[in-house]
Amino acid sequence: MATAATPATNMAMIKPCISSSRKVFMSSTASFSTESKEASWNRLTSSSHISSSFRSIFSAPIKFKKVVTRAMSSENENKPLPGLPVDLRGLTWRLSHVAPEFAISLENLNSRYAAIPGHMFLCGKRAFIAGVADDNGYGWAIAKSLAAAGAEITVGTWVPALNIFESSLRRGKFDESRVLPDGSLMEITKVYPMDAVYDSPDDVPEDVKLNKRYAGSSKWTVKELVESVKQDFGSIDILVHSLANGPEVTKPLLETSRNGYLAAISASSYSFVSLLKEFVSIMNPGGASISLTYIASERIIPGYGGGMSSAKAALESDTRVLAFEAGRKHKIRVNTISAGPLRSRAAKAIGFIDMMIDYSLANAPLQKELSAEEVGNAAAFLASPLASAITGAVVYVDNGLNVMGVGVDSPIFVDLDIPKDN
């Protein structure tokens, strides 16, 4: 039941909404009496952490306009403010959600006022990123972008890499890499041991069970992992698959063994099917699942062998099928990002990553080296309400290299007037 109208004016005011690890902004209400306007302004500046020097930008007395009183019930107090959760206004901050007649420009303010936090459009969401084992891969970058958007972060780390990863986190080795745009550090709520090649304990071979690299860890198969997350948190909203492995990746396909080929498929594509199959039961409707693919799925990349190109093709095909099935049954969106080359530790194992980066710089429409952050930001977009109608898609984040039909750095094109970034 709506509350009765009073002589006070209800206006929306920014208020920090605390999730487990991030401060984000949600709407609440503040009441400004028409009887004491100057006092109201003082309360506004105090509660919004606006310093006295901020007020000094107004050379004339502030005029408060009388506005129509709007009754607000508890039912709509937590509704988001209108407008897209993205700020494209540069250094202009409009206090339209405080009072429409105020528009405050930051251009002439001290630089400290320019560091306004970004919009937290994933506030209250929980993400699980599978395949984070260091701080320089796409999985880490995606975790950072999701955290910057307000999501709570949990990760799954391959069991043999777990001790080193957790130790590095504890000792602060990753602190520089954890810094978010607002200056705070990304918090990882929990790190889970994981090996997505095995669905249940019955699938684990005896030699793996006895392997000293797995000693001391438990509940790391896919089903056990999901059950642990369920017990700890109940549900998640975002699932990210950032893992791949091809034991014979350096071998041409004609020299790849059956075991090597199937191992690449198992670790790099079926693992996504398995994770989503188990996680979907604890994912909230409207959630999103994202994986990482590579253009070798549809183009020939010599040196990317061992069945890995086939695994990426399978991953993209599975993305479309899973988008249909998970969308119809659970209202979950499924997309994959085709990312360009990155100098990550995993990529260096292939042996020719530097050549691929150089090739991209010479031939892509955008002549710059791709950053992990750019892929992370694309993932945050796909996980957000802004992408609510996007599913089953392969989203290219590669400076446009995927659209090229020829390598323009070839001597054949030397006489053409091809624009270059000098």
Q: What is the pLDDT of residues 108-149, one digit of tens each?
A: 433 433 343 445 678 889 999 999 999 999 999 999 999 999
- pLDDT score, position 27: 35
Catalytic residues: 269, 312
Burial 9-26 (b: 16+ CB within 10 A, else e): bbbbbbeebebebbebbb
Q: Which carries the bigger pLDDT value, residue 6 or residue 358?
A: 358
What does the alpha-carbon distance between residue 145 and residue 104 come to, in Å, rounded to a whole number? Answer: 28
How many angstroms separate the Cα of 269 from the Cα of each of 264, 266, 272? 8, 6, 6
Q: In the chain, pLDDT over 70 holds for what percent of residues?
A: 70
Q: Is the pLDDT of residue 160 over 70?
A: yes
- pLDDT score, position 342: 87
Q: Are strands 283-293 and 236-241 parallel, antiparallel or unpaired?
A: parallel
- pLDDT score, position 95: 40
Count Cβ atoms below 10 Å from residue 331 Cβ, excluding itself.
12
Task: At 392, list the tokens.
Answer: 């089953």
Q: What is the pLDDT of residues 162-180, one digit of tens each?
A: 999 999 999 999 999 999 9
Q: Is the pLDDT of residue 74 over 50?
A: no
- pLDDT score, position 86: 62
**Residues 74-86: what's their mean pLDDT?**
48
Q: Is the pLDDT of residue 75 over 50?
A: no
Q: Which CATH architecture has domain 117-401?
A: 3-Layer(aba) Sandwich (3.40)
Q: What is the pLDDT of residues 204-233, one digit of tens each?
A: 999 999 999 999 999 999 999 999 999 999
- pLDDT score, position 211: 96
Q: Is the pLDDT of residue 36 over 60?
A: no
Residue spans of the domains in the chain: they are 117-401
